[in-house]
Amino acid sequence: MAALLIPFMSIAANRIVAGDSVLAWRVASPVETLPGVAAIVLGLALGVPAGRHYLRLGGALLGLGGLFWLLMQGAPALLEGADSAYARVSPAMGFCCLLLVLTLMMTDALTQMAPGPLARAGLLAAVLCALAAILWSGALAPLSIFQEYASRQAQFADAVLRHLALAFGSLATAAVIGFPLGILCYRRAQLRGSVLPVLSLLQTIPSLAMFGLMIPLLGWVGDNLPGAQAIGIAGIGFAPAFLALVLYSLLPVVGNTVAGLASAPAAARDAARGMGMTSTQRLLRIELPLGLPVILTGLRIVLVQNIGLAVIAGLIGGGGLGTFVFQGLNQTATDLILLGALPTVALALTSAIVMDILVELAKPIPKDTA
Amino acid sequence: MIEIDNLTKTYGDTQAVDAVTMTVETGSITVIVGTSGSGKTTLLRMINRLEEPTSGEVRINGKPTHAEKPHLLRRRIGYAIQGHGLFPHHTVARNIAAVPRLLGWKKPKIRARVDELLTLFSMDPAAFRDRYPAELSGGQQQRVGVARALASRPELLLMDEPFGALDPIIRARAQDDLRRIQQHLGSTIMLVTHDMEEAIRLGDKVAVMDGGKLVQYAAPAEIIAKPATDFVGDMVGDVDRPLRLLSLIPLSELIEDGPAEGEAMPADASLREALAACLWTGRTAVPVTREGVHVGRVTFEAIRNRAELHA
């Protein structure tokens, strides 16, 4: 509740200077703000009694609705009040606090309700649709972050695609290399003993250093290997970023493949061998089905990690949303940084939830019996 | 008939199994008994080539096992292990069907065989077919494990401590079940255990292993009466030897005419049970019946004399 007393939005003369704070009920005319404030207060109140999950969920949704309503009302109103064409409005501390509290309320309620994987998928889709609808409607367009977007629409679409290509492409490549390597490591203890330490060493290299290392390495390859430059291999750009991400991905993929395959009970593996299954049959019928959740968990780690790491690729010209983050840092333009960061967070969160659902669906034994 | 010929397995400097030669008759239960590290499990695992022998060979019905691909050989030999080794993600029916599926049986045939085996092990097919191993009790899991090993009517069944994880009461029932099913199917079984009690109870023949060597291979009564070495004597347990021996002899051997008081016992009960009945109720003789008809008595005196024969 106290968060309502913290400045809700801020208005600044231009995109660089710090803004002036505005309280929640002053962002627009009282008639426009009242429903929003009321919804937030009511939503928070509904969340107070413990043990009533549905009530708490409803409260959280109501509060979030009020929150965005205020934002949608406040942005154009504040901008109108400002006299300069360069004025910028953005959400302030109060908005962030309320968003955090209400989201926590929602996740808490959902955790208590423990919906099945399909229900969770539906919920995720609903949230994404609601978000898309708000963005599409243009009601938030006056906000500063969307003004940054408006001047970079083509670039933004390009960056998102590049980001996805980096994250998913490196995941796919790591999987193609990592699965067979993991299976081999699982079968041969000797190979496992030498491969896993090397991969975990790679994992400990700080990401900035890794991207830095790629520059001279691939630069040399590009200069000295005929034809390498023609397919885009050079010290900076997409190739080194992609390669670094693949290297980072190998340990989780290989490690979890080995752990997953080994998670089949020893007696079951011995019995499978004793009844005359070939090693391929054992892999396909026993070890893979039993290990799939662990293997998918490895892919989840890689995906979320790579979506985050791909931001740093912006630093070596790899493209992606990181480009905006670093441009923003150079220009001290917070909104530009957010234009890169927020979609990254949204992407990572969505992927994490989707992968969690897949992991649950991959469980080989029905839940009520295990 | 299974012929084990000079079978040897060496790990580095240690002789796990040292030139073991023995012959197992078709349709019998042979129990290999020994302490841990005696090489009994290695011996068993060399028969279906889960371990490759260093030297020597095994012949099943005259055919050497090394003449065949290991996984094809194993499909002809049932294999049941301690802790059952059921596949946790497959239903009971699918577990039992594992080997028939490998052999490419038709679906209706597999289904019929699964139901037949579940019934044989006193488990209602309709109730158990679609359950997962985690939903069964320890005794039920063990029975499914043995049923799975028997599914394709193998010519030989290898069992490695199959009852090791069961509590004593369930264990005794499982042993009785195995004996009954073996007589019903006429299977050839080789079973490994560290428990001499179990060996005497189940085996037509008992093979005692010590330090990789086969030290005695004989019928249970002979193992008890004439242990070949001190080690075998220790395994049998010198104190319990007379009682163990009496538990192998049916009342029918000592039936004589004459009166006896109290509750009657069937002729196929063991002398050990009759002795216990005498001691417990203070009688000197028990009446004996065969299929409910009185046929005579067995006296305390006669039991004592029978036990003394071996002293």
C-alpha dihedral sign at B259, B263, B266, B268: negative
CA distances from B74 to A278, A293, B32, B69, B148 (A): 10, 30, 20, 9, 13
Question: Of all residues in chain A, what percent carry a pLDDT higher than 70?
Answer: 90
Of A277, A281, A365, the CB nearest to B88: A365
* Interchain CB contacts (distance < 8 Å): A and B: 73
* DSSP states of A206-260: -HHHHHHHHHHHHHHHHHHSTTTGGGT--SSSHHHHHHHHHHHHHHHHHHHHHHH
Q: What is the pLDDT of residue B92?
A: 95
pLDDT above 50 (res A195): yes
CA-nearest residue of chain B to A269?
A: B85
User: From the list B71, B89, B158, which residue is nearest A289 (CB)?
Assistant: B89
B160 vs chain A: nearest CA distance in angstroms? Answer: 11
Provide the 8-state DSSP code for A15.
S
Which residues in chain B are closer than 8 Å to A283, comparing Cβ atoms? none
Q: Is the pLDDT of residue A89 over 50?
A: yes
- Residue A22 tokens read as 């505005």
**What CA–CA distance (Å, rounded) separates B299 from A320?**
97
Mean pLDDT is highest, among A65-79, A197-211, B147-161, for B147-161
Beta strand pairing call for B285-290 and B293-299: antiparallel
State whether residue A365 sits within 8 Å of chain B by CB: yes
Reported confidence tier of residue B95, pLDDT bands at 50, 70, 90 = very high
CB contact under 8 A, A271 and B135: no
Q: What is the mean pLDDT of residues B200-220?
A: 92
Position B149 scores a pLDDT of: 93
Of B74, B132, B145, the CB nearest to A365: B132
Find out whether A183 and A282 touch, Cβ atoms under 8 Å.
no
Q: Which residue has the higher pLDDT, A306 or A95?
A: A306
Contacts of B50 (CB under 8 A, 6+ apart): A270, A273, A274, B74
- Would you call A366 and B132 a contact, using CB atoms and an 8 Å cutoff? yes
Question: Residues B151-173: what's their mean pLDDT?
Answer: 88
Cα(B86)–Cα(B133) distance, integer angstroms: 7
Chain A residues in contact with B75 by the CB 8 A cut-off are: 275-276
**pLDDT, average across residues A50-74:** 81
- Residue A148 pLDDT grade (very low, low, confident, very high; cuts 50, 70, 90): confident
At residue B136, the pLDDT reads 92
- Residue A73: pLDDT band (50, 70, 90) is confident
In B, which residues are within 8 Å of A364 by CB distance?
88-89
Q: Pairing between strand B293-299 and B2-11?
A: unpaired
B213 falls in which pLDDT band (50, 70, 90)? Answer: very high
Q: Which residues of A touch B76 (CB under 8 A)?
A: 276
Q: Do B88 and A270 touch (CB under 8 A)?
A: no
Among the partner residues B72, B84, B131, nearest to A267 by beta-carbon distance: B84
Rounded to a whole number of angstroms, the distance from the CA of A24 to the nearest CA of chain B is 56
Those of residues 287-306 in A touching chain B at CB distance below 8 A are 289-290
How far off is chain B from A350, nearest CA to CA, in Å? 30
DSSP A305-327: HHHHHHHHHGGGT--STHHHHHH
User: Per mean pLDDT, which range of B95-99, B154-158, B234-238 is the poorest?
Assistant: B234-238
The mean pLDDT of chain A is 82
A 65-124 → B contacts, CB under 8 A: none
Q: Is the ipTM of this complex over 0.85?
A: no
pTM, whole model, 2 decimals? 0.78
Question: Is B148 near chain A, with CB under 8 Å?
Answer: yes
Name the minimum distance, in Å, from the CA of A303 to any CA of chain B. 28
Determine contact: A364 vs chain B, CB below 8 A.
yes
With CA atoms as reference, the chain B residue closest to A364 would be B89
Has residue A176 got a pLDDT over 90? yes
Tokens 């790591």 belong to residue: A174
Q: From the list B50, B102, B132, which residue is nearest A277 (CB)?
A: B102
Residue whose pair of structure tokens reads 């993929």 in the numeric block: A253
Supply the pLDDT for residue A18: 65
Of A270, A273, A275, which to mutate for an interface test with B (greatest number of B Cβ within 10 Å)? A275
DSSP state of B76: T
Query: Which residues in chain A have their CB less than 8 angstroms from residue B71's CB?
Result: 276-278
Sort out which chain A residues have CB atoms less than 8 A from B79's CB and list them.
271, 274-275
Q: Looking at the complex, does the CB of residue A231 fall below 8 Å from at least one CB of chain B?
A: no
Angle at the Cα of B25 (from B115 to B102), degrees rounded to 5? 35
Cα–Cα distance for residue pair A281/A274, rounded to 1 Å: 13
**φ, ψ dihedrals at B39, nearest 5°:** 95, 5
Instruction: Kindly state the percentage of chain A with pLDDT values over 90.
Output: 16
Which of A142-156, A254-268, B72-86, B283-297 bottoms out in mean pLDDT, i.e. has the lowest?
Answer: A142-156
Question: pLDDT, tens digit, for every residue of A15-48?
Answer: 666 667 777 766 677 777 778 788 888 888 877 7
Percent of chain B with pLDDT over 70: 99
- Give me the residues of B, 98-127, that contact A with CB < 8 A: 98-99, 102
Residue B110 pLDDT more than 80? yes
Q: A79-83, A187-191, B186-190, B298-302: which has the highest mean pLDDT?
A: B186-190
Beta-bridge partner residues of B14: B11
B134 contacts A370? CB cut-off 8 A: yes
Crossing angle (nearest 10°) for helices A238-262 and A207-224: 120
Report the pLDDT value the prediction gives residue A142, as an integer from 0 to 100.
73
Q: Please say if the pLDDT value at position B298 is more than 60.
A: yes
Task: Read off the pLDDT of residues A109-134 as tens digits, 9 standing for 90 and up.
Answer: 888 887 888 888 888 888 888 888 88
Q: Is A272 on the interface with B (CB under 8 A)?
A: yes
Amino acid B159: pLDDT: 94
Report yes or no: A278 at the B interface, CB cutoff 8 Å.
yes
Q: pLDDT band at A368, cuts 50/70/90?
A: low
Residue A268 to residue B87, Cβ atoms within 8 A: yes
Q: Cα distance from B241 to chain A (closest Cα, Å)? A: 35
Q: Give the lowest-confidence range in A25-29, A244-248, A274-278, B192-196.
A: A25-29
Region B51-77: mean pLDDT is 92
A chain contacts of residue B132, beta-carbon cutoff 8 Å: 365-366, 369-370
* Terminal CA-CA length for chain A: 43
Nearest alpha carbon to residue A364 among A284, A303, A300, A301: A284
CA–CA separation, A90 and A143 (whole Å): 5
Is residue A6 scored above 80 in pLDDT? no
Confidence at residue A91, expressed as pLDDT on a 0 to 100 scale: 78
Test B75 with A275 for CB contact under 8 angstroms: yes
Alpha helices in A25-152 (DSSP H): 30-47, 53-81, 93-113, 117-137, 144-150
Residue A39 — left, alpha, or beta (φ > 0 → left; ψ -120 to 50 → alpha)?
Answer: alpha
Whole-number pLDDT of residue A370 = 43
Select from B79, B89, B135 the Cβ nearest to the Cβ of A271: B79
CB B269 within 8 A of CB B251: yes
A298 min Cα distance to partner chain B (Å):
21
Contact A30, A51 (CB under 8 A): no
pLDDT of residue A82: 67
CB A361 within 8 A of CB A117: yes
In this prediction, residues A139-163 reach a mean pLDDT of 81
What local confidence, expressed as pLDDT, does residue A116 receive? 81
| Secondary-structure percent of chain A, ordered helix, strand, coil, rounded to 5 | 80, 5, 20
Out of B85, B131, B134, the one facing A268 most closely (by C-beta) is B85
* B49 touching chain A per CB within 8 A: no
- 3-state SS assignment for residue B310: coil
Question: Does the structure show a pLDDT above 90 at B41?
Answer: yes
